[in-house]
Amino acid sequence: MVDNDVYVEDGVVKQVGRNLIIPGGTRVIDARGKYVIPGGIDPHTHMQLEFMGTVSADDFYQGTKAALAGGTTMIIDFVIPKKGESLIEAYRSWREKADEKVCCDYALHVAVTWWSDRVKEEMEQLCKNDGVNSFKMFMAYKDTFMLRDHELYGVFDHCKQLGAIAQVHAENGDIIAENTKKLLARGVTGPEGHALSRPEDVESEAVNRACVIANQVSCPLYVVHVMSKSAGAMLASARNNGYKVYGETVAAALGTDGSNHRHASWRHAAGYVMSPPLRDDPTTPDALMEFLAKDILQVTGSDNCTFTASQKSLGQDNFSKIPNGVNGVEDRMSVIWEKGVHSGKMDPARFVAITSTNAAKIFNIYPRKGCISVGSDADIVIWDPNKTRIISAKTHHQAVDFNIFEGMECHGVPEYVIVNGRVCVDEGDLKAVQGHGNFIPTPVFPPYVYNMVKNREEEKVSNSVSRNNVENDIGGTAESKPSTPTPVHEPTVVASQAPEPRLTTPSSKGQRNLQDSTFSISGESPNGLHEQESVEMDDTAPRSCIRVKNPPGGQSSGSFW
């Protein structure tokens, strides 16, 4: 952390340092006493998703507007094709829905909900032509989205060949289906039945299974919405064993818990229904935050998938029909600051890593996103750690009529939010513009992920035993068949195939310069500490290059990443 000024022009960071020479007439925003951080990246949203007989309430306009209000400048949404549907057609329809509406930048993951040679081919096309580098597979939602283990093996293997990130929703769909039948037969129909039907071990079993399957084919794995202590522990053990796995948890799991399923009001209880469920164990949110602080989990999303009271009431007689999903896209940053930084569990540097930088690295858009350095997109948040706000459905910007964090007081408020150089939150006032956001292609072979995969593959191949006298050993003649050493695996992924991390591809709209507005951010440096060039928010970088001037949550003077 350093004290620096930032100069932005044409939507891009042009200078970082002290005593910058800037053109006259440039707007100057004073950030003294605040943190200047990269805009939040929410890698898990479901805007206007057709799901469980309805469509999620936040569309790409309202959802991304709410994202901006909370300090998130980019989302990654999920294209979810129906079984049998073309992945490419589904992708196109998502682009059509989103392009016109988004107020902030966005990218897309694509779900693989069925498996065939055609799906395989389409995955390749999406990676080559459409800027997709991640695929989500469901181990739950039997009969709609769920894949079987042999299918997961095939998809993971293919992801690995493509240099893509395989993501899983880890829950055992067969067990959930059986538990649900039993609970309904016993007359348990209310929202509490949802959590009872999918206990923690149903999640942790699936996390373990997904890790084991991915490891067979050396495919890096990203587990979305880790919701329980036991699932987190399973990831910790997989990482200890050298598996290339990443874990994401969500604002809901960090900011609230499953006790709400037993609330006397049906609407309140149903408002908390999501999958995997919020856990009854009240120590879960703190434990998940500790996992984030210790790098057992790396990323936070929101899984924003909102449904109004009347939509939730589709399940009033049967918990398994309550549309699954909660809010979070607007409040994620504040909730994590409050529960993580303000509570003293992590420092602001780790906050930036888990809300922005790590997602940018994993999905290969770093350093365009996820840091403030010369050449980065000007997606910047000025975060005031001393301001507070109280979360409420009455004041939030989302389309939904309920907020799972209702009444929570949060220290830490985004005072300015800048997207591609445009000030979208200005002294706390939201000035979102429909269509201002760009689609951001995510290239395959993220070096952050795949460089290590190459090393592991090389290790495995060097461990293989090369024999050239097989026929002699088994009584055949050496001449009958020429023997060649057989590698244990297909040709390995080589890092040199990986594209440069910096994207040069223009966005679908072709232009990066969306605004004339330029500004610089000034901060005094009372102790004279400053760096000349960019400072990235990288918790893997040597700590010596990060200067923490003030303790976490404490007063700052234009502190900057």
Quote the least distance from Cβ 250 to Zn ion, whole Å: 8
* 173 near ligand URP, rule: CB under 6 A: no
Residues 133-192 that bind Zn ion (CB under 5 A): 169
Residues 455-474 that bind ligand URP (CB under 6 A): none
Contact partner at residue 274 from ligand URP, Zn ion, none, CB < 5 to 8 Å by partner kind = ligand URP
Helices 229-240, 200-216: axis angle to 10 degrees equals: 20
**Of 292 and 305, which CB lies nearer to ligand URP in the complex structure?**
305
Residues 38-67 that bind ligand URP (CB under 6 A): 46
* 257 near Zn ion, rule: CB under 5 A: no
Other residues' Cβ atoms within 10 Å of the Cβ of residue 544: 6
Residue span 277-316 as binding mask against ligand URP, x where in contact by CB under 6 A, dash where not: --------------------------x-x-----------
| One residue of 101, 158, 169, 361 binding ligand URP per CB under 6 A | 169
Quote the least distance from Cβ 385 to ligand URP, whole Å: 30
Do β-strands 221-223 and 245-250 pair in parallel, antiparallel, or remain unpaired? Answer: parallel
Residue keyed to tokens 């329980």: 228
Quote the least distance from Cβ 165 to Zn ion, whole Å: 15
E-only strand ranges, 365-506: 380-390, 409-419, 422-426, 429-430
Quote the least distance from Cβ 304 to ligand URP, whole Å: 9
Residue keyed to tokens 């080559």: 128
Closest-CB residue for ligand URP? 324
| One residue of 303, 338, 347, 538 binding Zn ion per CB under 5 A | 303
* 400 near ligand URP, rule: CB under 6 A: no
The alpha carbon dihedral of 527, 529, 535, 536 has a sign of negative
Residues 316-345 that bind Zn ion (CB under 5 A): none
What residues have CB less than 8 Å from 449, skipping those under 6 apart? Answer: 165, 220, 244, 246, 361, 362, 364
Say how far apart CA 112 and CA 145 lie, in whole Å.
Answer: 8
| One residue of 62, 324, 357, 373 binding ligand URP per CB under 6 A | 324
**Of 52 and 352, which CB lies nearer to ligand URP in the complex structure?**
52
**Of 313 and 434, which CB lies nearer to ligand URP in the complex structure?**
313
Residue keyed to tokens 């990323």: 299
Quote the least distance from Cβ 143 to ligand URP, whole Å: 15
Considering CB under 5 A, how many residues would be counted as binding Zn ion? Answer: 2
| One residue of 88, 231, 274, 535 binding ligand URP per CB under 6 A | 274
* 239 near ligand URP, rule: CB under 6 A: no
**Of 169 and 312, which CB lies nearer to ligand URP in the complex structure?**
169
Say how far apart CA 550 and CA 561 lie, in whole Å.
Answer: 14
Token representation of residue 123: 């995955």
8 A C-beta contact, residue 184 and residue 320: yes
Closest-CB residue for Zn ion? 169
DSSP assignments along 333-358, one per residue: HHHHIIIIIITTSS-HHHHHIIIIIH
Considering CB under 6 A, how many residues would be counted as binding ligand URP? Answer: 9
Distances (CA, A) of 74 to 175, 417, 437, 460: 36, 11, 8, 38
8 A C-beta contact, residue 270 and residue 292: no
* 171 near ligand URP, rule: CB under 6 A: no
Other residues' Cβ atoms within 10 Å of the Cβ of residue 321: 14
Distances (CA, A) of 441 to 192, 348, 456, 506: 40, 28, 27, 9
Report helix, strand or coil for 362.
helix
Quote the least distance from Cβ 57 to ligand URP, whole Å: 13
Contact partner at residue 325 from ligand URP, Zn ion, none, CB < 5 to 8 Å by partner kind = ligand URP
Contact partner at residue 329 from Zn ion, ligand URP, none, CB < 5 to 8 Å by partner kind = none
What residues have CB less than 8 Å from 502, skipping those under 6 apart? Answer: 367, 368, 375
- Looking at the DSSP assignment, which residues form a beta bridge with residue 78? 109
Quote the least distance from Cβ 171 to Zn ion, whole Å: 8
Quote the least distance from Cβ 203 to Zn ion, whole Å: 11
Contact partner at residue 324 from ligand URP, Zn ion, none, CB < 5 to 8 Å by partner kind = ligand URP
Residues engaged in binding ligand URP (CB under 6 A): 46, 169, 225, 274-275, 303, 305, 324-325
Which residues contact Zn ion (rule: CB under 5 A)? 169, 303
